[in-house]
Chains A and B, each alone.
Chain A
Amino acid sequence: KAGVTQTPRYLIKTRGQQVTLSCSPISGHRSVSWYQQTPGQGLQFLFEYFSETQRNKGNFPGRFSGRQFSNSRSEMNVSTLELGDSALYLCASSLAGQGIRYFGPGTRLTVT
């Protein structure tokens, strides 16, 4: 089976712009979660989707949003980018009810 894929792998944006990141889960996985990784804050949970419904949300401002499509692919959007949004954004997928999250390679976002 193919692993979790994330596109794009690298992205450079300017402050104030918006960005959309994409995540395709492992075939058959219906749950997708997103994490932000920065040197200062470490790994922080953004949100999780299951069957197109957001099940959990972390403590991030409303500028961070996401959605999941009927094929389980997920997108996250960050509007009005700030310098502090520069991070590695990781997506993970899992089978419903399983404890194991399989991570993608991440998208490195740089905001200038």
Chain B
Amino acid sequence: AQTVTQSQPEMSVQEAETVTLSCTYDTSESDYYLFWYKQPPSRQMILVIRQEAYKQQNATENRFSVNFQKAAKSFSLKISDSQLGDAAMYFCAFRPANTDKLIFGTGTRLQVFP
């Protein structure tokens, strides 16, 4: 079975600091995509960053970057220079290349303190 595990139910960070959210996944697929989605209190799911499994280079989007370790099946999200607006639920998600189904982790609630 394909699973996504987020072992940190809650994390907190001070404004301007850096925080890393963890995600591991289990699959026998060799070709897949990984995502981090953010869900603020408004409930709108917003894509933060995407990584193709065949790319060795870690994806980066402004203050957001990932550490993708394919052999370890690990996909962590680093948020630099944290802002109050980063406070939200963060979901790690996995999608095998040959399906349309997104498999989500249980989420990490990130709090940002001024």
Contacts and interface: CB of A to CB of B under 8 A. Distances in A.
A94 B93 CA distance: 15
A99 B95 contact: yes
A43 B42 CA distance: 16
Given A56-B99, A90-B45, A99 B50 contact: yes
Interface stretch (A64-72, A73-81, A100-108): A100-108
Interface in A32-70: 33, 35, 42-43, 45, 48, 50, 55-56, 58
B100 A103 contact: no
Chain A interface, >50% SS class: strand
Nearest to A88: B43
Contact of B43 (A45, A50, A101, A105): A105
Interface residues of B, number: 23
B47 A102 contact: yes
Interface string B77-111: 00000000000000100010101111111110000
A22 interface: no
Given A42-B106, A42-B107, A100 B100 contact: no
A48 B98 CA distance: 13
Interface centre among A42, A88, A102 (most CB of B within 10 A): A42
A58 B103 CA distance: 11
17 contacts: A35-B102, A42-B104, A45-B102, A45-B103, A48-B100, A48-B101, A56-B100, A99-B50, A99-B95, A100-B35, A100-B47, A101-B47, A103-B44, A103-B45, A103-B46, A104-B44, A105-B44
